[in-house]
Amino acid sequence: MLTFADRMHKGETIYTLWSQVGSPQLVAQFALSDFDGIVIDMQHGVHSDDTVVTSGEAIIAADKIAIVRLPVDRFDAASRALDLGYEAVIAPMINTKQDAQTFAKFMKYPPIGERSWGPGRAVQQHKVKSADYLQIANQQTLAFAMIETRKAYENFDEIISTDGIDGIFVGPSDLSIDFANGAGVDPNMPETQQPMKDMAIRAKQHGKFAGIFARNPEDAPRYTSWGYQFVNVSYDGALLADGCQSYLERAEISKK
């Protein structure tokens, strides 16, 4: 089976669902859908160090791509997620080259970084001998640095060119808050659309990947048309709320 990295290198577009509700049972259910993978959110979601383990198992058992988003500066959880078989890690609020270097240090084995050895579950998942995992890990696991502030956008070239950073992942909501100087949050605010378009182009010029969070499913086609190849389509809480509303409508129950 091709890995996330293989599929991205082939030019495939990967669609994921974001899991904020910290339930491995729900994650198992979502992993059976046609999404290519699930992102387990430890930053704003209620996932814990424990549910990251059980959720990862459920995603891997369904042959889907397991990805984790870290809490801010919890880089120890990056190496652990990779050991558990997660194929990619998204780190929020990477604003400088130094932030990117710290993240990469925990993601990659020497000579690029300083990831510590202990990839028990990842070795089983890749069906390789332990020592052989060392040869493939740096290529087969992906580090995505989140660009979600004006400062990060200004430092874009330095961040994306950092050794060990495989791509960027845009956070349109935080980006809009910063561009609006805190006046509001709107992932579709006009002032951030050009920078978001520009980042997909520049990532490609650097030979790196571009990912983005689509707050609404309707935003996803626009992002793919801009060249984003890893598009997360909204999150489980919104999906469940939509499902509830749709059930009420189908049952012809109107609630004011």
Task: Report the interface residues with ligand 3PY, using CB under 6 A.
Answer: 148, 171-174, 213
Least separation in angstroms between CB 112 and ligand 3PY: 26
Query: How far apart (Å, rounded) are the C-alpha atoms in residues 67 and 7?
Result: 14
Q: Which pairs with CB-CB distance under 8 Å and at least 24 residues apart come from 23-32?
A: 23/51, 24/51, 24/54, 24/55, 24/57, 24/58, 26/236, 27/55, 27/58, 27/59, 28/58, 28/61, 28/62, 30/236, 31/58, 31/59, 31/61, 31/62, 31/64, 32/62
**Residue 176 and residue 182: Cα distance in Å, rounded?**
8
- Residue 166 interface partner, choices ligand 3PY, Mg ion, none, CB cut-off 5-8 Å depending on type: none
Tokens 């990060």 sit at which residue? 152
CB of 55 vs ligand 3PY, minimal distance in Å:
17
Distance of closest approach, residue 44 Cβ to Mg ion, in angstroms? 7
Which residue stretch of 111-119, 147-155, 216-224, 238-246 sits at the interface with Mg ion (rule: CB under 5 A)? 147-155
User: Is 67:89 a contact under the CB 8 Å cutoff?
Assistant: yes
3 state DSSP class of 237: helix
**142 bridge partner residues:** 88
Tell me how far, at minimum, the Cβ of 256 lies from Mg ion, in Å.
Answer: 34
Nearest to Mg ion of 58, 212 (CB atom)? 212
Of 22 and 171, which has the nearer Cβ to ligand 3PY? 171
87, 148, 166, 219: residue in contact with Mg ion (rule CB under 5 A) = 148
Instruction: List beta partners, residue 145.
Output: 91, 168
By beta carbon distance, the residue nearest ligand 3PY is 171
> Both tokens of residue 232?
């997360």
Q: Quick one: what does residue 213 bind among ligand 3PY, Mg ion, none, with the CB cut-off 5 to 8 Å set by partner type?
A: ligand 3PY
- Residue 39 Cβ vs ligand 3PY, minimum distance, rounded to whole Å: 9
* CB of 216 or CB of 225, closer to ligand 3PY: 216
Residue 156 touches which of Mg ion, ligand 3PY, none (Cβ within 5-8 Å per kind): none
Give, for 230, the enclosing helix (H) or strand (E): strand 230-235
Which of ligand 3PY, Mg ion, none does residue 172 bind (CB under 5 to 8 Å by kind)?
ligand 3PY
Q: Establish if 45 lies at the interface with Mg ion (CB under 5 A).
A: no
Residue labelled with tokens 């995992």: 133
87 binds, among Mg ion, ligand 3PY, none (CB under 5 to 8 A by kind): none
Among the residue ranges 5-13, 33-41, 148-156, 240-248, the one whose residues contact Mg ion (CB under 5 A)? 148-156
